[in-house]
Amino acid sequence: MGPPRIEAVQHLEPRDAAGWGFFGLASGISATGIALAFSGSLPGWIAGQLLLTLAFLQWFVLLHEAGHHTLFRTRWLNRAAGWIAGFFALIPYPSWQRIHARHHRWTGWQDLDATTAALVPRPLAPWERRLVDFAWRTHLPLFSLIYRFSNYWQLSRIAVYLRTAELAPVRIGITAMLAAYLILVVVAGPMALLQACALGRLLAFAIEDPLLLSQHTHIPQQLAGQARVRAFGPFEQQAFTRSLRLPALLSRLILHFDAHELHHMYVCVPGYRLSQIEHRPDNEVGWWTWLKGAKRLPGSVFLFQNRTHTGFDL
């Protein structure tokens, strides 16, 4: 039985009550984590960092939902939540909204999708290969850092993928976010910020690395080059997308962000309602099975090749 038609899931619309629930949950976990970080006890600090790790993951997926206008039914609530979530996720909301929209338009064309273009197969310098292999082997979250900077902060690179009229709000977003972080550092102090959230932020990055890389990396994609090509439709994009099966509770807490094939196929359905779609995607795999297999490959091979070269087909 094939996937349901888009018309069959149109009733799965965003709900403001659900949006407030997930936004409130992330806020509550963040506040509790910060309070525990300053509790003065080592067990409390460790518990706080673990809670902040979850909170930072939630803020990232809330940014993702808000960018699609699927966190809330009300449009201005999505924008407001997107700015706040982007602050915690270290991604300016205007940059995210525009670059991620391009990602959904050009999924499958690796060189046209800003989020995958850097991984187009190419000869690597020896230092690049050693660095990528070391980071992948040791779980050093190199990709999450580069992903943020190059796709959402580096204006010169962003400008390659956006129209001139789109760059003004992106500049505003980057400037506003930098100003907000500067104010936070001055008011709270850099050492207090490190104590409050440095470990939790690092752990969240380390989890985001394989979660993000699992979605499209090492799957054969097309290269457009200089040709004018047709964008793949939502159902066609499933062939270029992978889903992980996380533990059920964690999947719910991060709004089923692991169900990435369903998200590309039904992009207007909120993440927190994807589980209501009765379809098992073709490229879904258990998270531990996939992670063990992917980690057996050198990072440079995993990132810059695909399964047609290596035979790694999970």
pLDDT tens by residue, 21-71: 999 999 999 999 999 999 999 999 999 999 999 999 999 999 999 999 999
Task: Please provide the average confidence, as pLDDT, over all residues in the chain.
Answer: 96
Dig out the tokens for 119 from the structure: 């991984």
Instruction: Give residue 293's pLDDT.
Output: 93
**What is the mean predicted confidence (pLDDT) over 102-118?**
97
Report in angstroms the alpha-carbon separations of 98 from 102, 198, 202: 6, 28, 26
List the domain boundaries for the chain: 14-310
**What is the mean predicted confidence (pLDDT) over 214-219?**
96
**Residue 231 confidence (pLDDT) above 90:** yes
Instruction: Give residue 311's pLDDT.
Output: 79
**Residue 312 confidence (pLDDT) above 80:** no
**What is the mean predicted confidence (pLDDT) over 247-257?**
97
Label residue 60 left, alpha or beta by phi (over 0 means left) and psi (-120 to 50 means alpha).
Answer: alpha
Instruction: Give residue 309's pLDDT.
Output: 81
Task: Give pTM, 2 decimals.
Answer: 0.96
Task: Note whether 64 and 100 are within 8 A (CB).
Answer: yes
Label residue 232 left, alpha or beta by phi (over 0 means left) and psi (-120 to 50 means alpha).
Answer: beta
Instruction: Give residue 2's pLDDT.
Output: 84
Whole-angstrom distance, CA of residue 101 vs CA of residue 267? 11
**Residue 142 confidence (pLDDT) above 80:** yes
The secondary structure of the chain, three-state, reads CCCCCHHHHCCCCCCHHHHHHHHHHHHHHHHHHHHHHCCCCHHHHHHHHHHHHHHHHHHHHHHHHHHCCCCCCCHHHHHHHHHHHHHHHCCCHHHHHHHHHHHHHHCCECCCCCCCHHHCCCCCCHHHHHHHHHHHHHCCCHHHHHHHHHHHHCHHHHHHHCCHHHHHHHHHHHHHHHHHHHHHHHHHCHHHHHHHHHHHHHHHHHHHHHHHHHHHCCCCCECCCCCCCCCCCCCHHHHHCCEEECCHHHHHHCCCCCCHHHHHHCCCCCHHHHHHCCCCCCCEEEHHHHHHHHHCCCHHHHHHCCHHHHCCCC
Task: Note whether 224 and 311 are within 8 A (CB).
Answer: no
**Residue 310 confidence (pLDDT) above 90:** no
pLDDT band at 150, cuts 50/70/90? very high
Whole-angstrom distance, CA of residue 45 vs CA of residue 128? 36
Residues with Cβ < 8 Å from 177, sequence gap 6 or more?
86, 87, 92
Whole-angstrom distance, CA of residue 4 vs CA of residue 7? 8
Instruction: Give residue 69's pLDDT.
Output: 98
**What is the mean predicted confidence (pLDDT) over 159-186?**
96
| Percent of the chain residues past pLDDT 70, beyond the cut | 99
**What is the mean predicted confidence (pLDDT) over 289-294?**
94
**Residue 296 confidence (pLDDT) above 90:** yes
**Residue 201 confidence (pLDDT) above 80:** yes
**What is the mean predicted confidence (pLDDT) over 175-190?**
97
pLDDT band at 184, cuts 50/70/90? very high
Instruction: Give residue 271's pLDDT.
Output: 98
pLDDT tens by residue, 70-90: 999 999 999 999 999 999 999
**Residue 1 confidence (pLDDT) above 90:** no
- The better pLDDT of the pair 314, 100 is held by 100
| Percent of the chain residues past pLDDT 90, beyond the cut | 96
Determine the angle formed by the axes of helices 190-216 and 287-295, rounding to 10 degrees.
90
